Amino acid sequence: MVERKLDPEVARVISLVDQCKNFLLSGGAGSGKTYSLVQVIKEIINKNPNKKIACMTYTNAAVKEIQERVNHDNLYVSTIHEFLWGNIKSFQKNMKTSIVDLLLDENSNFVDPEGVINKDYFNSLGISIQYGEISRIRQGKISHDEVIELSAYMFEKHTLLCDIVKDKFPFILIDEYQDTHPLVINIFLESLKKSNKRSTIGFFGDSMQSIYDAGIGDLNKYLENQEVIEVKKEQNRRNPELVIELANKLRTDDLIQKPSEDDKAPNMQNGEIKKGKITFLYSLTESDSYDLKQIKNTEYFSGWNFNNSMQTKELYLTHNLIAYKAGFTTLMDIYGKDPIINFKNELNNKIKKEENPINENLTFEEVISLFPIKLKSKPNKDKLKIDVLIEDYKNKESYEELKNQPFSKVKKIYLDPACLIDDKKQDKDDTSKGSSKRDNLIKHLFKIQNLIQLYNNNSLNEFIRKTQFSIRNVSDKKRLKDIISKIESMSECTIEEVINYADENNLYKKDDAFQYFVNDNSYIFNKVKAVKFKEFQNLFSYLEGYTPFSTQHKIKGAEFDNVFVVLDNGKWNNFNFESLFTNECRTPSVLLRTQKIFYVCCTRAKENLVIYYHKPNVKVVEKAKAWFGEENVKLIDDL
């Protein structure tokens, strides 16, 4: 059998593995890091066929990709959360004690359940600790948010746990290290050191692509003291020449990419690197609004098909901006901009700061009167904030619904955009993540719409498994077709009407999870049920990858022929695109975060990249000319 030649970077990594040295394979966008990861795994298996390898990555989609490329009994591929849970779940006694310790620790992010906590709390309930989608610590249920902190605590405290993991997995590989929680880095490079067992820890990733707030994996300290040896992968197999040159200008480290030497690489054509196109468009009109439809009709988008989400992507900073474009603004406002719930959160924070215990059986209105919040700026200075809020009739309706309810119930109302839009797919073939934060109302709606999709795709076996509708004869088939057609035509009906229709016709019944949500979250349900169903249909299309829209956070690792990036701060303080170009920012972390997300956006393009900036100042335009080339910077006001 002919031996396959290893890439130079992979050969260097394998040499470090042979010496039992920890390593970092770093590579810029489009460098083929996943391909190298797979090569490393295969070579480790080839040299150590009887030893187990643990490979962790950030998403379930990445897990699936690696599993499809390497199929071996000794390879365990999972998300980081699944790996950590898999290694601590058997130690129930230690876990219960650790959770109590964390609940009693003021510096912990664990939330203290109602009631007195003692060491025997969980044992007295006779329950085991479980990991799932929701956190109900009083019931022994922890979620995504708690697993990492709990694991870090247990690995730090129990050397035996470190021994077991290193003994079981002599090779531990972590993909997309830059998106991992700092506690994860601490587990593998600090806690595991307490064990005398031998193991090699390998990291793969790119520091310029850490754009998730919760993940700031940093290996600098370990690189400096040589506890981790860096191997750089400088080739770029994805981007055309002009995008590579731009990307090198955007990087804030010393990694400089160069075109692939492989003639078969996607960015090569007839033995040469593709040139590609990069364009920076801007307008100086005074209006705060801009017509993207008109902009997309200009010559700079000639040949682009915005209806093909696999070839062309429009990238925005937040879901809020996309919600308007994709048509689910009302739903987004409910989950992200409810003024009364935001006020409730502010009130709750004030109560906590004053550290005065209150009777939570008091009504929401009574608690508001005990802890008045006044406005501090004109034109409503010194007025009660609640009085100003309810001048708006919609806010008044919301307040009237809540004011006489016990504060203990109102304080638990939780609204977050993640409950609506978590687990976004980039394309229709992607599989859902197991730890979605969608609430049970949105999940119920997804199940209804998914049945419509399965029926229309002729996936009848899966459809039958998931529906409660019985097909016994030809008449039933005709009736089912009518039911599907009816729901598809109910765009102007309310969400409640569609849920009821699906239930009454046995397409999808109201299950326990749905009923529990309605009973426990009437405030949220009352708002969502009145929204037109077409908004959910639009949301479904967006989340399932059927639209050309994406938030800039959700395309890391993806690639498209054509990429259109709209630089709009979206009233989000975490990013500042003006500072990106001027390098002037009061908050260094905001500048760095913005640099990284812009780098990720630009490096998605395989052929054409267009940036649009509304009302830039002179410094921004000058920097754009330096980055993009003066001939590629265009004022479009007169077009």
Q: Mind listing the pLDDT tens digit for each residue in 173-215?
A: 999 898 888 999 999 999 999 999 999 999 999 988 875 554 5
Give me the pLDDT at residue 511, please. 82
Helix (H), strand (E), coil (C) string for 230-267: EEEECEECCCCHHHHHHHHHHCCCCCCCEECCCCCCCC
| Token pair belonging to 551 | 């938030």
Is 54 marked within a binding site?
no
pLDDT band at 598 (very low <50, low <70, confident <90, very high): very high
Query: Over the chain, what is the mean pLDDT?
Result: 88
Of the given ranges (18-27, 391-400, 435-444, 487-496), which has the lowest mean pLDDT? Answer: 435-444
CB 454 within 8 A of CB 466: yes
> Cis peptide leading into 379, omega within 30 of 0?
yes
| Token pair belonging to 412 | 């638990």
More reliable by pLDDT, 155 or 637:
155
Burial 449-466 (b: 16+ CB within 10 A, else e): bbbbebbeeeeeeebeee
Residue 132, CB-side half-sphere exposure with 13 Å CA sphere: 10
Please state, in angstroms and rounded to a whole number, the distance separating the CA atoms of residues 85 and 90: 9
Segment 571-586, tens digit of pLDDT: 566 778 899 999 888 8
Q: What angle do CA 269, 271, 275 make, to 5 degrees?
A: 50
Please state, in angstroms and rounded to a whole number, the distance separating the CA atoms of residues 409 and 520: 9
Q: How far is CA 490 from CA 263, 485, 518, in A?
A: 53, 9, 22
What's the distance, Cα to Cα, between the start and end of the chain in Å? 62
Give me the pLDDT at residue 319, please. 67
Instruction: Walk me through the domains of the chain, giving residue ranges and CATH numbers.
Output: 8-82+158-233 (3.40.50.300), 92-144 (no CATH), 268-317+552-635 (no CATH), 359-414 (no CATH), 419-544 (no CATH)
Q: Which helix (H) or strand (E) holds 283?
A: strand 277-283
pLDDT at 2 over 60: no
Give me the pLDDT at residue 472, please. 92
431, 418, 443: which is closest to 319 by C-alpha?
A: 418
Residue 117, CB-side half-sphere exposure with 13 Å CA sphere: 19
pLDDT band at 383 (very low <50, low <70, confident <90, very high): very high
CB 291 within 8 A of CB 298: no
AA letter at 407: F
> Alpha carbon 561 to chain centroid distance?
23
pLDDT at 305 over 90: yes
Length of the chain: 639
561, 565, 541: which is closest to 553 by C-alpha?
A: 565
Give me the pLDDT at residue 12, please. 97
Percent of the chain with pLDDT over 70: 90
Give me the pLDDT at residue 571, please. 56
AA letter at 420: L
- Residue keyed to tokens 């009994």: 73
pLDDT band at 282 (very low <50, low <70, confident <90, very high): very high
Phi-psi region of 215 (alpha: psi -120 to 50; beta: other; left: phi over 0): beta
pLDDT at 432 over 50: no
The average pLDDT across 281-297 equals 83
Task: Centre a 10 Å sphere on the Cβ of residue 512 and count the other Cβ atoms it contains.
Answer: 8
pLDDT at 134 over 90: no
466, 465, 417, 463: which is closest to 438 by C-alpha?
A: 417
Is 418 marked within a binding site?
no
The helix/strand/coil state of 558 is: coil
pLDDT at 455 over 90: yes
Is 570 marked within a binding site?
no
75 beta partners: 53
Give me the pLDDT at residue 552, please. 54
Burial class (CB in 10 A: 0-12, 13-18, 19+), 43: middle
Is 31 marked within a binding site?
yes
CB 145 within 8 A of CB 175: no
Segment 610-620, tens digit of pLDDT: 999 988 999 99
pLDDT at 553 over 60: no
pLDDT band at 378 (very low <50, low <70, confident <90, very high): confident
Is 86 marked within a binding site?
no
CB 449 within 8 A of CB 537: yes
pLDDT at 558 over 50: yes
pLDDT at 496 over 90: yes
pLDDT at 592 over 60: yes
Is 626 marked within a binding site?
no
pLDDT at 77 over 70: yes
pLDDT at 113 over 60: no
Segment 386-404, tens digit of pLDDT: 999 999 999 999 999 999 9
pTM: 0.72
Phi, psi of 522 (to 5 degrees): -60, -35
Is 276 marked within a binding site?
no
19, 64, 3: which is closest to 231 by C-alpha?
A: 19
Please state, in angstroms and rounded to a whole number, the distance separating the CA atoms of residues 65 and 80: 15
Q: How far is CA 459 from CA 430, 453, 463, 465, 502, in A?
A: 16, 9, 6, 10, 19
Q: What angle do CA 491, 493, 499 make, to 5 degrees?
A: 95
Give me the pLDDT at residue 428, please. 42
Burial 125-139 (b: 16+ CB within 10 A, else e): eeeebebeeebebbe
Please state, in angstroms and rounded to a whole number, the distance separating the CA atoms of residues 313 and 156: 44
> Alpha carbon 586 to chain centroid distance?
27
pLDDT at 317 over 80: no
The DSSP string of 31-63 is S-HHHHHHHHHHHHHHH-TTS-EEEEESSHHHH
| Token pair belonging to 20 | 């039992």
Is 33 marked within a binding site?
yes
